[in-house]
Amino acid sequence: MDPINARSRTDAAASNGLAVRVERRRRLSPAALAVTNQKVRPAYSPIVITGVVRAADFVLLSLIGVALYLGYAARIDGFNWRYIEAILAVAAAAVVCFQAADIYDIQVFRGQLRQMGRMISSWAFVFLLFIGISFFVKLGDAVSRLWLASFFFVGLAGLIAGRLLLRAVIRRWARDGRLDRRTVIVGSDENGENLINALRAQDDSDIEILGVFDDRNDSRALDTCAGSPKLGKVDDVLEFARRTRIDLVLFALPISAETRILEMLKKLWVLPVDIRLSAHTNKLRFRPRAYSYLGEVPMLDVFEAPITDWDLVLKWLFDRMVGAFILLLVSPVMALVALAVKLDSPGPVLFRQKRFGFNNERIDVFKFRSLFHDQADPLASKVVTRNDSRVTRVGRIIRKASLDELPQLFNVVFKGNLSLVGPRPHAIQGKLQSRLFAETVDGYFARHRVKPGITGWAQVNGWRGEIDNEEKIQKRVEFDLYYIENWSVLFDAYILLKTPLALLKSENAY
């Protein structure tokens, strides 16, 4: 046997073995795998949808009123800004009345007669109110009656046409599961059956129950709970949630099972989902305001998913718009760095590395290559240290100034798997000595409840570069969790503006 070939095969096998070990996932039950193998589309936020419909109603009515005014009344009597003010006031009043009539609700959008009747009566009330106000302030003669009648009927026709289109779109999204909250129940016993039956008894419920999990393997845990299969133990929920979309975790355990609940919450709080405790079978009752409700089923909120609904929209817009601007701004610098990397050592300019993304998913992150190509470390199994021989001459400069991170703007603007600001994405093989980061810090994976970022709160507070002791990784996680709990667009902007100053303090970056 050729010793060189034998050694290369051994190295390849070791490399493959490492990859297998890194990508190894917890084994799920056949029932759980059947659920995870189903094609699931991303969900749409009902809060965002109803907000968009409100804005669309206001814009539609305003455009109809202005178009009719410019096409008729303004041509006869000349342009008058009071008409524009009145049109905007009528459109705003219509939205307020629609809200008071409970029209802005996903379940109402699915119906037809219910929303049409409420909308017509509300639109008529707005016009009666407008006519009454015009009479009392003696503006009746100044308002064109033909324009007013046209505004009422054309506006009503526009609203009806818009609602018919919206109804078709909402029903299609409902069929595709985009409006459902995919839910798992913890507790496969009588309490779990009662909760599932109570949820299924709700009219127009958006709860889709995927199955149940239980921390027990004895006879107390049912294999089938009210027709829903038992998918595994509580430890399996983490892996299950990383293979398919979960929006809600409901505990069907009595409040008296405090010890069991706390033990399970310690495992599940790292997930980016809402976690609630069912209160419908508990004899202990709190004030009504202490509960949230799924239909009529009372719940106690335990953990909420961070950055959802409009916050998620704002962060998406901030990332794409500001990210595109920064990318355009630094493109000359990136071109110079790319040229320097290419001239300094053979190999590709960009380096792709697997890192942890949102919800512990594996993502490809782009960087400028700073190590010699034949010594690249895609899994980051060996941390770069001071005077590391693997780092090129140009690599030392760009790593010190974090210029090697600039290609991650492509991840932000084009791929969307990174944010400008967020917990830094650690390599999947990141270690402190011989222990993985997740084995070193409790709740480490809670930093993956949001998308990772190019810069973060930990980095601007000095916690960047080499991790060679336990305090450094603990502080990073501590600052990351603070960021997640206190996120705002202004907080993101503050961190982004502070990042260049933080890069000047680069004693830990090699």
Inter-CA distances, 131 with 57, 120, 136, 139, 449, Å: 21, 17, 9, 9, 53
Residue 510 counted as domain residue? no
Among the residues of 295-436, which ranges form H helices? 309-344, 393-400, 408-410
Specify whether 427 is located in the same domain as 477.
yes
- pLDDT per residue as tens digits for the range 436-485: 777 778 888 899 999 999 999 998 988 876 677 788 888 899 999 999 99
Residue 21 counted as domain residue? no
C-alpha–C-alpha distance, residues 32 and 34, integer Å: 5
Residue 369 counted as domain residue? yes
Specify whether 243 is located in the same domain as 108.
no
Specify whether 232 is located in the same domain as 342.
no
Specify whether 295 is located in the same domain as 367.
no
Inter-CA distances, 292 with 43, 104, 149, 278, Å: 21, 20, 44, 10
Residue 39 counted as domain residue? no
pLDDT recorded at residue 73: 73
Specify whether 137 is located in the same domain as 206.
no
Specify whether 325 is located in the same domain as 471.
yes
Q: 240: number of CA atoms within 13 Å, CB side?
A: 30
pLDDT recorded at residue 420: 96
**pLDDT score of 161 more than 90:** yes
For the chain, give the percent of residues with pLDDT over 90.
41
Query: Which secondary-structure segment (H or E) carries 11?
Result: helix 3-23
Q: Which residues pair with 433 in a beta bridge?
A: none
Query: How many structural domains is the chain composed of?
Result: 3
**pLDDT score of 209 more than 90:** yes
Residue 220 counted as domain residue? yes
Residue 34 counted as domain residue? no
Residue 58 counted as domain residue? yes
Q: Residue 191, SS3? A: helix
The vertex-161 CA angle with 157 and 166, nearest 5°, equals: 145
Specify whether 459 is located in the same domain as 316.
yes
Specify whether 288 is located in the same domain as 218.
yes
**pLDDT score of 283 more than 70:** no
Q: Choose from 21-30, 39-48, 106-115, 431-440 the range with maximum mean pLDDT.
A: 39-48
C-alpha–C-alpha distance, residues 281 and 187, integer Å: 13
Specify whether 156 is located in the same domain as 170.
yes
The letter for the amino acid at 59 is V
Q: Residue 352, SS3? A: strand
The letter for the amino acid at 161 is A
- pLDDT per residue as tens digits for the range 183-206: 999 988 888 898 999 998 887 788
Specify whether 171 is located in the same domain as 241.
no
Domain that holds residue 261: 180-303
Residue 368 counted as domain residue? yes
Cα Rg, the chain, nearest whole Å:
29
Q: Residue 260, SS3? A: helix
Among the residues of 111-243, which ranges form H helices? 113-136, 145-175, 190-200, 236-243
Picking from 303, 322, 343, the residue at the C-terminal end of a domain is 303
